Structure 1
């Protein structure tokens, strides 16, 4: 098991500083992406095309951070040849960075739907589904980043389990929106845009769950990708019994 500060204990103070710096840069990227998602939802709900265009433009900053963090990870691997928990930390940071970049992409997609909806008018659903699922996945993203920052496996597992609820809510929302289109064909354009935005939010939930899976790997050394949440819970509990 990776202890809260085990990766900080090295003979080389410079190595400590490099690991801490790349971790902080990842959390900086996480904060930026979290803000991108929140603002993208806001731009959609308010049909604010100006804010939406800002979010689309800011995606380039997220992309640059991804490249910068990847370069830091590559330098650490080349120069330090880390072993054990340090190697897991570097690999985890690299993988989490990829998920964060993709969440940033989803924020841009939501913002593009906001631009289209600002031209077409409001949604017959009054964005009820967007508000609900948007709030849910924002919480998941925040918890996944907190789990990484604190090396909190329980919080990570809770986030993984939460993704099932997002999937259920997403399916319900899509059925509801299809009903609107069937009842009034004039709503087809706006509703399709809302559906695409919901799809992006559902993907944000998937990526938040991925980040949490990486945290489980980092702390417990367990690869819990591609298995059901109940099995994740069982594997984590089993690993604790073996400690």
Structure 2
């Protein structure tokens, strides 16, 4: 992920380990969400319980990563872009842990719905929204891994799509209730699951904002899309200029080698 290496190899190793732990925690949280949805759709109480127990591992990763970052800052005293990256990881850990919490909520609701008997009300809405949200999360983690500000910006833009689809799903469920009042309890539980999915999307957006922050140096939280797009473009321009500069040096060294 980090293309710029430092004089201290141990610093690079510490930083790479923080990145690795963060991405591993992110993948684990994403897997937890996927399993929670499968537990709901398949009425698999065993899988739902597995999701609940996975939360212990997510919490353990949070503690481990927090300790690693604390030691990294204390020993290495990172500055500038390195410090932004470290702080982005530190803040992003909170979002990943809360994604795990939302997955647990979904799993518990899945067990409650399974105990209420057969019903397919709201499953299509849940499946559709979960696909959108999980894509957001996976793209946010990939943007972090690849230091891709443009991909992170796309995640941010998708959050408004998720919010609109969430509202649309809630309206559809209200229609189900009006058509059959006997399904009120089951439908309300589905609404809570949709709410958890919408929050997971918010946390994915937060991770995307952190990606843009450490790449561009600008805090884009609570910013309109025009400002975010400008920050992304400026970051891309700086990266392109640096690549051209690096290529020029490489070309020069190649020419010098040929002359010899």
**Equivalent residue in structure 2 for 1:101, among 89, 97, 100:** 97
Q: From the superposition, tell whether residues 21 and 235 of structure 1 become closer, same or farther in structure 2 (CA, over 3 Å).
A: closer
Q: How many residues align?
A: 239
Match of 1:195 in 2: 191
Instruction: Report the secondary structure of 1:193's partner residue.
Output: helix
Give the TM-score of the pair, scaled to structure 1.
0.94
1:5 aligns with 2:3: yes
User: CA contact under 8 A between 2:40 and 2:110: conserved in structure 1?
Assistant: yes
After superposition, give the CA deviation of every residue in 1:75-94 in whole Å (9 maximum; x if it has no partner): 01111111111111110110
Match of 2:171 in 1: 175
After superposition, give the CA deviation of every residue in 1:28-47 in whole Å (9 maximum; x if it has no partner): 11111110010001011112
1:155 aligns with 2:147: no
**Equivalent residue in structure 2 for 1:119, among 115, 118, 122:** 115
Distance in 2 separating the partners of 1:187 and 1:228: 40
The 5 Å alignment of 1:63-102 reads 63-102=59-98
Give the unaligned 5+ runs of structure 1: none
**Equivalent residue in structure 1 for 2:42, among 43, 46, 53:** 46
User: CA contact under 8 A between 1:122 and 1:190: conserved in structure 2?
Assistant: no
Distance in 2 separating the partners of 1:166 and 1:229: 16
1:134 aligns with 2:134: no
Match of 1:24 in 2: 20
Give the number of the structure whose alpha-carbon radius of gyration is greater.
2
User: CA contact under 8 A between 1:106 and 1:201: conserved in structure 2?
Assistant: yes
Q: Displacement of 1:236 after TM fit?
A: 2.5
